[in-house]
Structure 1
Amino acid sequence: MIKLTPGKLAGLKAVSDHRGVIAAAAMDQRGSLQKSLAKERGAAADAHDLEQFKTLVTSVLTKHASAILLDPEFGLPASKHRNGKGLLLAYEKTGYDATTPGRLPDLLDHWSVARLKEAGADCIKILLYYTPYEKSPVNDLKQAWIERIGAECIAHDIPFFLEFVGYDADGGDEKSIGYAKKKPEIVSGSMAEFGKEKYHVDVLKVEVPVEMAFVEGTKSFKGEKAYTRAEALQHFRDAATMTHKPFIYLSAGVSNPVFIETLELAVESGTSFNGVLCGRATWKDGIPIYAKQGAKAFEDWLNTTGVENITNVNNALKLAHSWHDKVESK
């Protein structure tokens, strides 16, 4: 059992439903969202577009979510429209430093945990690109970085959510079958590492340990097999045994039907996952509507298709486990 201080316990409760399941929406995309909007529109997207898009997503989807994840750069106006639900704020800069190898992370220049808490955050979220197969000096640097953030969150008694996204240390394509075969070990190894006490992470926000397009016997299967359905289920179980901490799944940009099938597989495998932080699987298909038809059309789409998407996710979470089973208060 993990021992939680009063502040950390209160923060986790603020972003969870009455069962202790985290059914949170994610809207902290910045660079990728700006590029997608510009591509669909055929003209640049500015800060106003990002703020308006985030505000519309937040005001509609938080009626059906336990919390919203936003960024302090463009998301603070949206945070005023979250229907009384919990708030996670991102602390990292968008993307990673492409000029040096190893996908090194960086923190937002003008923010600290104290400032994010002051801005209304119930929890702090960090995204880290990580693979256990990266060179040791690179991973040592990333691990020290996470230790520092963990200490900062302890100092301000606020929960620390760590999201890690795997990649191919050899520069291979992450959409390939070759990477799909490596992914179970990358996810399991990352969960084992950052579940260690020295990082003081409270909730691990993890990728599922398989690529659904390569799981034979699923609706998402595209014809090239990396794993049978039985093997995929075992990969879910193996990854889950790597930590005793609460963990939630991220949607990783897949479509709503693929994410729903992913969660069904997680439930079938019997893992004790504690919810989701789901972004693009609920609102991604609305990007062209906002870009081409404007805010009102996007709001209408969110109120229909967007709500349908998040309802699908909530239904898939009915068999998620309460994080209360994994923690006790100090």
Structure 2
Amino acid sequence: MQQIEDRPRAGLARLARPSGAFAMLAIDQREALRAMLAAHQSGPVSDQQVTDFKLEVTRALTPHASAILLDKQFVWDQAVAQKAVAPSCALIAAADLFIPSPDAFVDKVEIDPAVVAAEVMADGATALKLLVIWRQDEAAETRIEMTRRFVAQCKDAGLVSIIEPVAKPPRGAVPYDWNAGVLEAAKELGGLGADLYKAEVPLHGRGSEAALRSACAALTKAISSPWVVLSSGVEPDEFPRAVELACKEGASGFLAGRAVWKPVIGQPNLKAALAGEATDRLKRLCEVADRAVQG
């Protein structure tokens, strides 16, 4: 029993760089990624195109990431079978089932029954990740119960549990403060036992250093585990600053995708763009996280 309890602690170390900073790459986007690819071609984007892009990103960037987040729907099995992930890079499986609506790629989330802990562990997984949608007009009990259940499942399996609360506008036409929602989500879900918390960057990374640092300090106070930032909603060129300031106020790195690989979508030579621009972006982020965490 003690051995199982120690696995998440060892798993967190496996997800991090020698500095202790988390420099993790996300490529678990699904229909949102299809839409990004579609913006650069005239016809529909096939499932195979989505998979192929994910595999190219995985091959090119995992030598420089401490971990990579992959989804079962499009790429997990292929990446494992093709040994596309660099041996130095830990594996995180997306355990979330995205349920769309007519106007949203992800309207609701459930724990995906197709992602079986024992199976992804056999494939080499160190952690599972669950997206949790936070809306001020929806019952907290439902998302709290799902989060607790996810954390318990990970603990029972000896896997690191990562939760990713994302603040969404209420369904009704009521006033809404997104930044307040990010903090309220952290207060509600950040103490439920997850091993790692993946947070949206307050203010979308914009604003003064003092304002951003204050907002990140509030997240640190609300979250009982180590936490990292994601890059959705932050301009790629502004994300390194966001990582640096978040880490100075208690964050431990990043788990991000768009800030690294989105700028190369649509470029005529994808492999070259990933090996050049995207790799440079990821290396810079690693350096920023190392320096901020150590300093």
Which residue of 239, 254, 261 maps to 1:259? 239
Alpha-carbon distance between aligned partners in 1 of 2:103 and 2:161, rounded to the nearest angstrom: 28
Alpha-carbon distance between aligned partners in 2 of 1:12 and 1:45, rounded to the nearest angstrom: 36
Structure-1 residue corresponding to 2:21: 21
Please say if 1:206 is aligned against 2:207. no
Name the TM-score, length of structure 2 as normaliser. 0.88
Structure-1 residue corresponding to 2:227: 247
Alpha-carbon distance between aligned partners in 2 of 1:35 and 1:27, rounded to the nearest angstrom: 14
| Residue pair 2:111, 2:150 contacting (<8 A) in 1 also | no
Cα deviation for residue 20 of structure 1 reads 2.1
Cα deviation for residue 104 of structure 1 reads 2.7
Distance of aligned partners of 1:265 and 1:210 in 2 relative to their CA distance in 1, 3 Å threshold: same
Structure-2 residue corresponding to 1:311: 283
Cα deviation for residue 258 of structure 1 reads 1.3
Cα deviation for residue 38 of structure 1 reads 2.3
Structure-1 residue corresponding to 2:59: 59
| Residue pair 1:31, 1:94 contacting (<8 A) in 2 also | no
Cα deviation for residue 67 of structure 1 reads 0.9
| Residue pair 2:231, 2:256 contacting (<8 A) in 1 also | yes
Alpha-carbon distance between aligned partners in 2 of 1:31 and 1:99, rounded to the nearest angstrom: 12
Cα deviation for residue 171 of structure 1 reads 5.3
Structure-1 residue corresponding to 2:85: 82
| Residue pair 1:25, 1:69 contacting (<8 A) in 2 also | yes
Letter in 1 for 2:31: G
| Residue pair 1:51, 1:78 contacting (<8 A) in 2 also | no
Structure-2 residue corresponding to 1:326: none
| Residue pair 1:273, 1:320 contacting (<8 A) in 2 also | no
Distance of aligned partners of 1:24 and 1:37 in 2 relative to their CA distance in 1, 3 Å threshold: same
Cα deviation for residue 188 of structure 1 reads 2.0
User: Which runs of structure 2 are paired with 1:1-330 in the superposition (5 Å)?
Assistant: 5-76=5-76, 77-79=78-80, 80-84=83-87, 85-94=89-98, 96=100, 103-131=107-135, 133-136=136-139, 139-169=140-170, 182-196=177-191, 199-213=192-206, 215=207, 217=208, 229-267=209-247, 270-289=248-267, 293=268, 297-321=269-293
Alpha-carbon distance between aligned partners in 2 of 1:184 and 1:92, rounded to the nearest angstrom: 24
Structure-2 residue corresponding to 1:223: none
Alpha-carbon distance between aligned partners in 1 of 2:212 and 2:290, rounded to the nearest angstrom: 21
Alpha-carbon distance between aligned partners in 2 of 1:306 and 1:171, rounded to the nearest angstrom: 39
Name the TM-score, length of structure 1 as normaliser. 0.79
Letter in 2 for 1:20: G
Structure 1 stretches of at least 4 aligned residues deviating more than 4 Å after TM superposition? 95-100, 170-173
Q: Deviations over 1:157-178 (max 9, x none)?
A: 11100011111225579xxxx8
Distance of aligned partners of 1:236 and 1:142 in 2 relative to their CA distance in 1, 3 Å threshold: same
Alpha-carbon distance between aligned partners in 1 of 2:239 and 2:213, rounded to the nearest angstrom: 15
Distance of aligned partners of 1:95 and 1:283 in 2 relative to their CA distance in 1, 3 Å threshold: farther
Alpha-carbon distance between aligned partners in 2 of 1:67 and 1:17, rounded to the nearest angstrom: 9
Cα deviation for residue 156 of structure 1 reads 0.5
CA RMSD of aligned residues (A): 2.5
Match of 2:39, SS? helix
Match of 2:163, SS? strand
Q: Which structure 1 residue ranges, 5 or more long, are not aligned?
A: 218-228, 323-330
Alpha-carbon distance between aligned partners in 2 of 1:172 and 1:87, rounded to the nearest angstrom: 40
Q: Which has the higher strand share?
A: 2
Letter in 2 for 1:83: A
Match of 1:43, SS? coil
Q: Deviations over 1:70-122 (max 9, x none)?
A: 1012122234211111000101123545699x943123342222333233211
Distance of aligned partners of 1:253 and 1:279 in 2 relative to their CA distance in 1, 3 Å threshold: farther
